[in-house]
Chains A and B, each alone.
Chain A
């Protein structure tokens, strides 16, 4: 068991917080296939934690375990010092974990604003009936939620598309809207599944800046999966490297970059 006493300083010299989420001995099987083999690592408060690895390494499965979509056959997930029982995704969302998806999952026919408002769902207390009547508490609540959403719209600089149906937006902007929706939940832990996939250089730069700004301004802890090595090394405080469902490296970007096993996994070595 790891020492959870703050402060924790990475070897790169950045101070990060207590353990927020601790994955202990996670094993995930699909029938006979072991997607994740006995992996342990932690995510600390306020850090940007990347999970990298070649195709089929089990990164997305890992993210789905964190988000509660998959329940591992073995191992324990500890969140904020408590063991998390098997949960449905909506229950995990209430714990303060929000995510974006590799293939954008927005409501195409709805406006950007409405899409982001759906991210406030876990913060809405009034029932359907009072929302229909739209007086008093329900109205107040909507105003408060709208204020939060507007701040996020301002933050991500998407004012110009506020009323545009998501279906009409280009890919890069959809990704940004998805990030906005995840942020609207005001999560403790934000999971990003390949936030830069399919983007051009300029869009990647924008997205990187937003991720850093979110981490900086809101203090949101971020766990992300990403293919673009340059981006990962620049953004993250610590990196977990996976290959064939195993963890082969864990540490700061500079530590991971010099790890022989990681280099082999990425560049390929003769298997003899």
Chain B
């Protein structure tokens, strides 16, 4: 494992805080919108608040090595709580604020937290519920006391009271001694992974993990004091911890907290962050809103928008990547920037973004290119909690929608036989708390960590491309790689396609089920004078089948570009007569398709896709929202898609 020495004695986050106070004590460190006004705290003020809280916790009896649970929406006071815990040699454990009481109870029991800091009544209620049958949790500290007046306060104290206690405390030396006794390999934070299967696991990250990663990633993107971020993603998520605590402390930039979850987009516009992270969903929603509003705009505005967006799509990405662009196009882009891109980015709150990232799931190329075309430096990264976020990221000038970039500084990558991606880095987690078996099965003795994702490193560019979850990747009868999710994602990038399920493991070729998006296709049908009375009728309309066939053919063409995956082209498809639904067990509650269930339930349809029949009659049992069951009968048309000869495609 590569080991680096701490820089300038900054062994812990509190040390970085002290450095920031010394270097830029009167610059803004935190802002929060409250009562309609952005309130701000300088580094010196924040340090005072943190010290007061830490001393208060010390007076309450917090011991070195204690876990302190923190749950609530992004607020400066809760970020301070994390640093205050670290000052005392305690380990902050941020929890997801949406978590149900049982999940919180599990985390409290597993971590053995004696103190919990809650944002408001909702979080206090859950902690109190979780406390039943738990002997470890001693005291709940709450930030917003609203609605708590009549609660039993024997084991509850307000944040302000703890700070008041701390301000009177005479044990400052003891606190500082505790901070200084920490080493680079002591625990910095523990984060619970949401875990799609089984119990959540507590990922232990050391000071080295957090500080080295923050340092490397800040250098990679030239993050600096003076940058602004908007902290709106869950505090329990590793990304928020690194962006809003790790990198913020390392570089000394300012963390801005929105007024409430609902005001995020307004606050985004008011702050105008220079460094911005959002999952693809946020970008998608913003783009949809823009498009809908442009549909309603006047003729002139719409023409102007369409014209300049065409220019932007052609010229914008090249300009961002620093490629050469004809002077005339530069001029046109500058004009477009004046008339369209600038005002639009301003409305979206993205005018000042210097470094923007998206990750978490695949982003549609149209969406990605839209933001790049506007001149926003949107990039992709690939990471996970166990890596302290960063595994790969895209350097400026090498940004594409289909890769996740090159290994982040200090990260080594290895692709296993079966295509699974392994990494080793200074950010590689210490262990899963109280779970040596899982630790051993994830991280080997040399420090290599299995990601669970399958991918490959592209020849030439050296970029990593993620294909699918490793366990979903299979083989066709010919032995070629079968990556269903890769194909499904490509299909789902079309707004008309809501869901797609691709089959092919152990078969000669691939076939697909398609779910159309009722809103998008319904709208299209309306504009094209296609009458329909039900989802089922619309889904089987010949023109809708033509529409979807066009999308499938386009996807085949794009897959054929890729020699490794060309065999995954879709030969035949059908449009399902019902939407896949969690109530029918076809999807999980988080809307992930249960491949095996769908395969069993519609075995007759799969058989028809492979036996060359032009259509198939089927009956399907459905569960209505009130629990009653019914049957849908339908005759589904099966279409042949155009398959591109991959040899020809690559030659062309």
Contacts and interface: CB of A to CB of B under 8 A. Distances in A.
Interface string A158-171: 01101000000000
A216 B149 contact: yes
Contact of A216 (B33, B35, B147, B263): B147
B149 A162 contact: no
Interface string B237-274: 00000000000000000000001101100100000000
Contacts of A150: 35-37
A151 interface: yes
A147 interface: yes
Contacts of B33: 159
A229 B233 CA distance: 40
Interface residues of B, number: 14
A24 to B, nearest CB: 33
Nearest to A213: B147
Nearest to B259: A159
A139 to B, nearest CB: 16
Given A150-B35, A162-B36, A155 B260 contact: no
Interface string B259-294: 110110010000000000000000000000000000
Contacts of A162: 36
A122 B37 CA distance: 25
Given A150-B36, A151-B35, A153-B36, A159 B146 contact: no
A104 B93 CA distance: 46
B34 interface: yes
A160 B263 contact: yes
Interface in B16-65: 33-37
B435 to A, nearest CB: 39
Interface in A106-124: none
A215 to B, nearest CB: 11
Interface in A212-259: 212-213, 216-217
B648 interface: no
Number of contact residues on A: which range applies?
Answer: 10 to 19
Contact of B149 (A147, A155, A217): A217
Contacts of A154: 34-35
B628 interface: no
Contacts of B36: 146, 150, 153, 159, 162
A68 B266 CA distance: 41
A160 B262 CA distance: 6
A216 B150 contact: yes
A258 to B, nearest CB: 26
Contacts of B262: 159-160
Nearest to B35: A150
B260 A157 contact: yes
A209 B122 CA distance: 12
Contact of A160 (B146, B147, B149, B266): B266
Contacts of B34: 154
Interface string B466-479: 00000000000000
A147 B35 CA distance: 7
B511 to A, nearest CB: 43
Interface in A185-217: 209, 212-213, 216-217
B498 to A, nearest CB: 26
Given A150-B35, A153-B36, A154-B35, A159 B149 contact: no
Interface in A136-183: 146-147, 150-151, 153-155, 157, 159-160, 162
A228 B260 CA distance: 31
Contacts of A159: 33, 36, 259-260, 262-263
Nearest to A155: B146
A151 B144 CA distance: 13
Contacts of B146: 155, 213, 217
Contacts of B260: 157, 159-160
Nearest to B147: A213
A10 to B, nearest CB: 16
A86 to B, nearest CB: 38
Nearest to A150: B35
Interface of B: 33-37, 146-147, 149-150, 259-260, 262-263, 266
The 3 A-B pairs with the shortest beta carbon distances in the complex, nearest first, are: A160-B262, A150-B35, A160-B263
17 contacts: A146-B36, A150-B35, A150-B36, A150-B37, A151-B35, A153-B36, A154-B35, A159-B33, A159-B259, A159-B260, A159-B262, A160-B260, A160-B262, A213-B146, A216-B150, A217-B147, A217-B149
